[in-house]
Structure 1
Amino acid sequence: MVGNDWINSYLENMSWRIWNLARKKKQIEGEEASRSSKKRLEREKARRDAAADLSEDLSDGEKGEHINESSIHAESTRGHMPRIGSTDAIDVWANQHKDKKLYIVLISIHGLIRGENMELGRDSDTGGQVKYVVELARALGETPGVYRVDLLTRQISAPDVDWSYGEPTEMLSPRNSENLGDDMGESSGAYIVRIPFGPREKYIPKEQLWPHIQEFVDGALVHIMQMSKVLGEQVGNGQPVWPVVIHGHYADAGDSAALLSGALNVPMVFTGHSLGRDKLEQLLKQGRQTRDEIDATYKIMRRIEAEELCLDASEIVITSTRQEIDKQWGLYNGFDVIMERKLRARIKRGVSCYGREMPRMIPIPPGMEFSHIVPHDVDLDSEEANEVGSDSPDPPVWADIMRFFSNPRKPMILALARPDPKKNITTLVKAFGEHHELRNLANLTLIMGNRDVIDEMSSTNGAVLTSVLKLIDKYDLYGQVAYPKHHKQSEVPDIYRLAARTKGVFINCAYIEPFGLTLIEAAAYGLPMVATQNGGPVDIHRVLDNGILVDPHNQNDIAEALYRLVSDKQLWAKCRQNGLDNIHRFSWPEHCKNYLSRVGTLKSRHPRWQKSDDATEVSETDSPGDSLRDIHDISLNLKISLDSEKSGNMSKYGRSSTSDRRNLEDAVQKFSEAVSAGTKDESGEKAEATTGSNKWPSLRRRKHIVVIAVDSVQDADLVQIIKNIFQASNKEKSSGALGFVLSTSRAASEIHPLLTSGGIEITDFDAFICSSGSDLCYPSSNSEDMLSPAELPFMIDLDYHSQIQYRWGGEGLRKTLIRWAAEKNSESGQEAVVEDDECSSTYCISFKVKNTEAVPPVKDLRKTMRIQALRCHVLYSHDGSKLNFIPVLASRSQALRYLYIRWGVELSNMTVVVGESGDTDYEGLLGGVQKTIVLKGSFNSAPNQLHAARSYSLEDVVSFDKPGIASVDGYAPDNLKSALQQFGALEG
């Protein structure tokens, strides 16, 4: 009776558990259906709005032609993958490009990356992407026209990983040295460059890297600046050789590449490898976890936002397949196939796109090195393949595998994949175990990474491996399945050879495979394939025609496909030969040729001052005049007065008359001559410090910079904070060792009265980051420098504008925003949001928010802009009462990087002072290598809901436990002084 009671209780509990799981799955499905419906309606509305704008300037005939041209474009991107066609054609192309000296930067920051003996399969972060980026870097380094390739990754000095991952630099030895020219310089070739960021002595998974992204960006920026200068001395005639492209791989590196691209004004390329929205959909369909639970595990919302930013910033997105474009990128707000075709058709006709931009999606399949591969000859009439070089001993890994089999002569079905649920290994084992004819005819080999103790593996991987072992036991597959614990990456070719020698088959039955590089590797060794019909294998099969595609959810489909190939010798031989005949389509030379031909079409956006005579490094012994050595170059790019935009010298959104431009140029020339004359008469540090119009180059000479970026306080508190910081640092301020920058969402026209009301001189600051980072100004006290009636004592850095103007929508964006504001006002029945003409400027469209309840949070505004292909950075400030739209790669944190790039102000020598909360760009001020002081107290405004409603938590962006962050209670001078001394800004 006791036993029956226990069984009944157990069954009852199981029934309730199953019922709850089914209920949870149904609830999740309902929520996702509602979310999908809302998203579809939003996208349809955005398309209608965009279509209305894009149709205004088209005649009826042009409107009719529009779809036809779009269809032509669509067809042009379908069909066969681009190819060179022959080895001779590759040689011709190489000779045409051999004189170029390109510098390419690749970024892949997670996992364990090294050039030799890669530990593929050690963990979920060290997989096919690691091999791909290393081989891509190596192949590009061997390509004619490419001088240097840097693969930037994370430096790891953890005790549980090999010492090689802590080496700062590793040269990738070329595979084909005969391809290298005789004129290669000392810094040429391909390198892995490891940047230290995050926990110094800890190897952490990619989900924990997000708070450290900005620290990586700052470290990478230093390396690229130094390398550009070195390459300039070698092959650039003394001028910096900037990267021709910065290429991010996966979302984390893409986020980093976007920031680096914006800081350096260099084109960005992105490869997703796998995409967050697709993974989210797959996990939701399983019904095991809610959206919040998935996000807690995978940081999926932070990843998706990074991928959306990559669409905003990238000029080209490289995919492996067409399926990735249509089925995966189509899930994103920032990409729409229909919109992309319309915009491309308009560009082709030379018709305005009204500020709308889409990245180009280019399918380029990954490459492979085939020169060392010699497939076995096959005699179809014999029981096994002929043994080429049979006198040589068998590779050791063969014995490690063969020891599992009772009959090792049978054809081998080979699977090479991590024990990850999405790889679908358990379904493969079930298919094999339940198909008795297949079991009698073949063996199964499972290469599932490397392991020592299953209990020490990650919970996910350990669960998959345990399930596989239980299935082997369930179907009594002992003697028919091999599952070795260890293998080296260098042994993988031998494993392919063993499978081919037994006339075996390679299988990849993942639920979805972004590409499937192992399928190409297997084909190169003469192995036919059985592959999933979801993802990249579809395109691979179209090119190679060397196997069968299957539904990964249907184990009978998998088993029958395997049985057909191992039982039909003629079919096996045909698939084998097709693969060998077409495999050259996936060679690295062809990949690099296609890659560089696309990259070569990108417009160079290098810094405008690169041809000037300025030096970014100024020694302490330089004379005061040295800091003005490039004043002629700089003055031509400095606007003497901010308000001249509104007083007629230049209109707000970039339209100016010829006479206005001439007046501005005359004034700038007058300023240049005056400054040049002034430098001849002045000498000594004191003279420079008292000359307002000459003061801005002093940024280069400061030992430390304090950046005041406190947003969450009233104006009176901000003025007092500034005064107290000046008081706390009076000694260093007077000596010129310490400089100051004010960073704010306010326009320059608002900064001037704010400071003067508190008795603060404009010249107390070295620079002003205004309008949320869309303007960078320097102080000027010379009345002759003023052009506007307001006579604001500022000079705007137009070089900075050239850095941030990428994809700025201008008047087209403003038109859309005015319509959006009108809709919000109509919905609320009042004037909820209105354009702020006084605070708007060339690169900032500003609005006053009179009813915060009537406007959406930042994440929804970003979505609205992205759906309409409008690329911009959206920010709320002043407790949600102000709304700024600025260029997509502009921000206050990016402005600090510009100060480093332009003037050599070391980011590590900056201390940023912030409040407990701030504008919606607050998170960007807390990361990076700069120090941060957080002022705490009741004077801080409570965070507005518009600020808090981000799609991910602040902890996914900022590491609050890093040593460079300190908190101060209040803003008393003594407390501020102690904090500044802690970070070395003041003497102890």
Structure 2
Amino acid sequence: MRIAFFNPQGNFDKNNSRLTEHQDFGGQLIYVREVAKELSKLGVFVDIFTRKIDDENWPEFKENIDSYDDTKNLRIIRIPFGGERFLRKELLWPYLKEFAEGIFKYYKNINQKPDFITTHYGDGGITGAIFEEITNIPFSFTAHSLGAQKIDKLGVNIHNFDSYDREYNFSIRIHAERTSMNRSAFNIVSTNLERFEQYAHPLYEEAIDINDDNKFEVISPGVNVNIFSSEKKEMDKEFWQKIEKYLSRDIKEKNKQYIVLSSRVDEKKNHLGAIRAYAKSKKLQQIANLVIFVRGLINSFEDINKLSEKEQKIIDEIKRIIEDYGLKGKVSLFDVPGQEELASAYRYFVKKNSIFVLPAFYEPFGLAPIEAAAVGLAIVATKNGGPMEAFDRGKYGVLIDPFDENNIADGMIEGLENFKKYSELGKKRVIENFTWEITAKKYLERIEKYLKNPIKKINYLEIPKFFFNKEKNIDKKIILEYLHNKNAL
């Protein structure tokens, strides 16, 4: 069997260059890479299609074909579209027909074709729909995140919609997502919560029936247990020495437990809620120090000019809280540059009986906490979203209300005081349920099931004309009606 992955944004290469350095190079790339690798180990031939970039600032992505040294049966195939330079994902929409046609030409030239397509994010989804229109090859859609939820989180309304639309292309994205979920063979979601809450959003009405079991498959993301392992690695000695230097620089009493924040610095991840909870709790300060991993922040606050404007704003507020509450000597910010280093840092803080905290306002799934749990940190995570299912309503970790700083503080105290219990339970939960091998096997089972008995689709949505003629404006009526009704309420 040959399965193709469509992932136009971000990019892939054998050295995992740029991973997590840019918002387009985040969790979904790790997801695609790991599922693809595990499928190849199951004997599947896998093609990852992404964008060819011929840009001196992005030299890793100019070759047509690439591969992973440790993986057989897997190709990374870069298709030129949208010009040569790097484009952020919001600017790729007008060129996705070109991408789909490029993939078709590639297969035609080598006289091959895939049996099934799995598409990722809205831009991959609409590419899959266009490709199916050309070839009649079915596709699945894995959204990773949906534009409707982002509209709500950003506070988009009828007055500011146009400015947000210019930046994020919501009008195009929503139409792409509606088409993708409607025309897909089935939609893969990480949790039941994602299916019954996110896909039930009014902006997807008439595009998808959330009660149709044939249209959904719950397949959770996984952890690379070779990287996120409690077993000590060769790199640990050197990296732990770096951690010790950071802590010696910033921390007065190093032999306490630690609270670890390692999510990317983003307003929705709610670092400030956790830090304020720590600042206001004398008990927390007595038993634990606080560490925050920030990519690129080697010299603590001296390096904040290297961060984005939004990240700088959050780091500046963290600095203010530290000063206002006299937390100097209790908080450390430092750089953890990659996944291997992240796992190593987790192993270091497991030795200190530490907790991993994810206080996000909402987390669609929450891959970060299950990675931390696999290494052995006790987990304290938001109750809003995926962690509620991943940690079985608090059975395997502590769930917190991210809007209640007292509850966040109480949850962190519970995790610290019951470290051994939650460390053991969390690790067991991950190993038995959330590995990439398990994820890939479920993908393959669902694909094989569909191919043996394809379900005839009804109520097809037409692919929006924009994707065939990018000069035409796409209809914004659906979004504006939603915002008008929301404003009326």
Would you call these one fold, judging by a TM-score over 0.5? yes
Measured against aligned partners, the alpha-carbon deviations of 1:187-231 in whole angstroms (never above 9, x if no partner) come to x51222222222313x2221111122222222222223334x2xx
Give the 3-state SS of the residue equivalent to 1:600 in structure 2. helix
Partner of 1:264: 135
Does 2:24 correspond to 1:125?
yes
Give the 3-state SS of the residue equivalent to 2:295 in structure 1. coil
Matched to 2:396, the amino acid is N
Is residue 118–residue 131 contact of structure 1 (8 Å, CA) maintained in 2?
Answer: no
Is residue 398–residue 494 contact of structure 1 (8 Å, CA) maintained in 2?
Answer: no
Partner of 2:210: 337
Partner of 1:150: 47
Q: Distance in 2 between matches of 1:391 and 1:200?
A: 40
Is residue 150–residue 193 contact of structure 1 (8 Å, CA) maintained in 2?
Answer: yes
Deviation of 1:438 after TM superposition, in Å, equals 0.6
Partner of 2:482: none
Partner of 1:305: 175
Q: Distance in 2 between matches of 1:170 and 1:413?
A: 40
Give the 3-state SS of the residue equivalent to 1:318 in structure 2. strand
The residue correspondences of 1:192-203 to structure 2 (distance < 5 A) are: 192-201=76-85, 203=86
Q: Distance in 1 between matches of 2:235 and 2:127?
A: 50
Give the 3-state SS of the residue equivalent to 1:172 in structure 2. coil
Q: How high is the TM-score relative to the length of structure 1?
A: 0.45
The structure-2 alpha-carbon separation of the partners of 1:949 and 1:211, relative to structure 1 and needing over 3 Å to count, comes to: closer
Is residue 229–residue 343 contact of structure 2 (8 Å, CA) maintained in 1?
Answer: no
Q: Distance in 1 between matches of 2:158 and 2:474?
A: 26
Partner of 1:481: 331
Deviation of 1:112 after TM superposition, in Å, equals 4.1
Give the 3-state SS of the residue equivalent to 2:200 in structure 1. helix
Deviation of 1:464 after TM superposition, in Å, equals 2.3
Measured against aligned partners, the alpha-carbon deviations of 1:279-318 in whole angstroms (never above 9, x if no partner) come to 1122228x79733333222211211111101122111111
The residue correspondences of 1:209-288 to structure 2 (distance < 5 A) are: 209-227=92-110, 229=111, 240=112, 242-284=113-155
Partner of 2:476: 951
Partner of 2:380: 530
| 415, 424, 436: which one aligns with 1:577 | 424
Partner of 1:449: 295
The residue correspondences of 1:269-668 to structure 2 (distance < 5 A) are: 269-284=140-155, 290-331=160-201, 332-333=204-205, 334-338=207-211, 340=212, 360-371=215-226, 374-375=229-230, 395-399=240-244, 401-403=246-248, 404-450=250-296, 454-455=304-305, 457-485=307-335, 487-542=337-392, 545-566=395-416, 568=417, 571-584=418-431, 585-603=433-451
Measured against aligned partners, the alpha-carbon deviations of 1:431-464 in whole angstroms (never above 9, x if no partner) come to 1111121122111111133358544543323322
Deviation of 1:530 after TM superposition, in Å, equals 0.6
| 152, 167, 173: which one aligns with 2:63 | 167
The structure-2 alpha-carbon separation of the partners of 1:601 and 1:543, relative to structure 1 and needing over 3 Å to count, comes to: farther
Measured against aligned partners, the alpha-carbon deviations of 1:163-192 in whole angstroms (never above 9, x if no partner) come to 2222322212337xxxxxxxxxxxx51222
Give the 3-state SS of the residue equivalent to 2:449 in structure 1. coil
Partner of 1:817: none
Is residue 397–residue 491 contact of structure 1 (8 Å, CA) maintained in 2?
Answer: no
The residue correspondences of 1:665-704 to structure 2 (distance < 5 A) are: none
CA RMSD in angstroms, aligned pairs only: 3.0
Matched to 1:318, the amino acid is I
Is residue 396–residue 429 contact of structure 2 (8 Å, CA) maintained in 1?
Answer: no
Q: Distance in 1 between matches of 2:225 and 2:393?
A: 17
Measured against aligned partners, the alpha-carbon deviations of 1:557-586 in whole angstroms (never above 9, x if no partner) come to 1111101221x2xx2211111122232211
The structure-2 alpha-carbon separation of the partners of 1:485 and 1:363, relative to structure 1 and needing over 3 Å to count, comes to: same
Partner of 1:784: none
Deviation of 1:363 after TM superposition, in Å, equals 0.8
Matched to 1:171, the amino acid is S
The structure-2 alpha-carbon separation of the partners of 1:154 and 1:495, relative to structure 1 and needing over 3 Å to count, comes to: same
The residue correspondences of 1:708-719 to structure 2 (distance < 5 A) are: none
Structure showing greater relative contact order (alpha-carbon pairs closer than 8 Å, 6 or more residues apart): 2
Give the 3-state SS of the residue equivalent to 2:118 in structure 1. strand
Deviation of 1:524 after TM superposition, in Å, equals 0.9
Matched to 1:137, the amino acid is A
Q: Which 5+ residue runs of structure 2 have no aligned equivalent?
A: 478-489
Matched residue pairs, number?
A: 469
Measured against aligned partners, the alpha-carbon deviations of 1:833-867 in whole angstroms (never above 9, x if no partner) come to xxxxxxxxxxxxxxxxxxxxxxxxxxxxxxxxxxx
Q: Distance in 2 between matches of 1:268 and 1:949?
A: 24
Deviation of 1:278 after TM superposition, in Å, equals 1.2
Q: Distance in 2 between matches of 1:121 and 1:392?
A: 24
Give the 3-state SS of the residue equivalent to 1:105 in structure 2. strand
The structure-2 alpha-carbon separation of the partners of 1:401 and 1:272, relative to structure 1 and needing over 3 Å to count, comes to: farther
Q: Distance in 2 between matches of 1:392 and 1:872?
A: 56
Q: Distance in 1 between matches of 2:17 and 2:392?
A: 30
Q: How high is the TM-score relative to the length of structure 2?
A: 0.87
The structure-2 alpha-carbon separation of the partners of 1:362 and 1:390, relative to structure 1 and needing over 3 Å to count, comes to: closer
Measured against aligned partners, the alpha-carbon deviations of 1:804-837 in whole angstroms (never above 9, x if no partner) come to x973x5xxxxxxxxxxxxxxxxxxxxxxxxxxxx
Q: Which 5+ residue runs of structure 1 have no aligned equivalent?
A: 1-101, 176-187, 230-239, 345-358, 377-386, 607-804, 810-869, 874-888, 890-919, 928-933, 935-946, 953-988
Give the 3-state SS of the residue equivalent to 1:212 in structure 2. helix
Q: Distance in 2 between matches of 1:118 and 1:558?
A: 35
Give the 3-state SS of the residue equivalent to 2:342 in structure 1. helix
Does 2:205 correspond to 1:205?
no
- Greater radius of gyration (CA): 1
Q: Distance in 2 between matches of 1:454 and 1:110?
A: 27
Is residue 182–residue 208 contact of structure 2 (8 Å, CA) maintained in 1?
Answer: no
Deviation of 1:554 after TM superposition, in Å, equals 1.1
Matched to 1:602, the amino acid is Y
Give the 3-state SS of the residue equivalent to 2:315 in structure 1. helix
Give the 3-state SS of the residue equivalent to 1:362 in structure 2. strand
